[in-house]
Amino acid sequence: MFRPTELVIAGWTGRDQQALSKHIRELEEIGVKAPKSTPIFYRVAAGLFTHENEVQVSGSDTSGEVEFVLLQDGK
């Protein structure tokens, strides 16, 4: 089983720049500050990686997202 030791997330990404800009404006309307540039990359705890069918979230206002991943196992 693959067990990552590092996890880097690419945020604010999209092939369709017009749709991405629209999404950024929608998020700004609910108080989410827009990034200075896109995409952005940030490290998070490797333990957040999962292939489970269910995940725990922090509340009913959480917007769950499923993201694609690129795996490298060091071989």
pLDDT < 50 stretches in the chain = none
Place of tokens 């604010």: 12
Instruction: Give the model confidence (pLDDT) of 27-37 as tens digits.
Output: 999 999 999 99
Q: What is the 3-state secondary structure (H, E, C) of the chain?
A: CCCCCCEEEEECCCCCHHHHHHHHHHHHHCCCCCCCCCCEEEEECHHHCCCCCCCCCCCCCCCCCCCCCCCCCCC
Report pTM.
0.63
